[in-house]
Amino acid sequence: MDANQQTRANPFGMDAECENCPELCETRQQVVHGYGDVGADFLFVGEMPDEEADRTGVPFTGERGEALQNILGYLGLNNSLPSADDPELENAFLTYLTRCRDPERPPTDEEIRTCEPYLNAEIRMINPEILVPVGQRALTEIATEYTTASAEEFDASEDHATTIRGRGFEIVPMRDPQAQSEADREAFVDHFQSLMAGDYRQTKGRRSR
């Protein structure tokens, strides 16, 4: 964790009362901005806050978040229990494409575009080495922004636990943790550990897809 970082929760002080999407203001409990280590090499991006993240204000927490937090623990990126509402993350940052929850539907394309400046600012300020899109929607958006290939070429299940060399970042897709088998989890942990043990910083900026 950066020596000058004061908090893991919304460390960049983004608008906690955002009203850019009036419809979502009626359904959310709170705005869920990014959380974690601002000096992180690894940035994980999901689609939207679920019910538990909406309650805690922290991405990927609560019962549904435990699967991801457990993986982060195996990787040495989470120093607390997977069930913690305020995980002690080191070298990892968690965020979403959109920051507010509608319990009845996924975010619209317009809502993702509206929240895009928040995500772009977090990526720019953290400048991670590796982006981990969690789930298909996150992979589609990250691939659109940071690769030269068509987003339709990417599949979160088929590309799970692989490395895609994008524009400025390595991209390591992750299948939705709730849908992962034990083999899926082991494959991701093994692949990511091999990246962490190697010279991933030497590959930043190389282009492929």
User: What's the pLDDT at 6?
Assistant: 87
**For the chain, what are the domain ranges?**
24-198
- Could you say which residues of the chain have pLDDT below 70? 1-3, 202-209
User: What's the pLDDT at 117?
Assistant: 98
HSE value, Cβ hemisphere, 13 Å, CA-based, for 22: 0
> Checking DSSP bridges between strand 92-96 and strand 35-36, what pairing results, if any?
antiparallel
User: What's the pLDDT at 124?
Assistant: 97
User: What's the pLDDT at 3?
Assistant: 58
Which one, of 60, 51, 8, lies nearest residue 29 by Cα? 51
Distance CA 67, CA 42 (A): 17
For domain 24-198, give the CATH number.
Answer: 3.40.470.10
Q: pTM of the entire structure?
A: 0.93
For 33, counting Cβ atoms within 10 Å of its Cβ (0-12 exposed, 13-18 middle, 19+ buried), the class is buried
Residue spans of beta strands (DSSP E) within the chain: 35-36, 42-46, 92-96, 130-133, 164-165, 170-171
Question: Residues near 175 by Cβ (< 8 Å), separated by ≥ 6?
Answer: 135, 156, 157, 160, 184
pLDDT digits (tens, 9 = 90+) for 140-154: 999 999 999 998 899
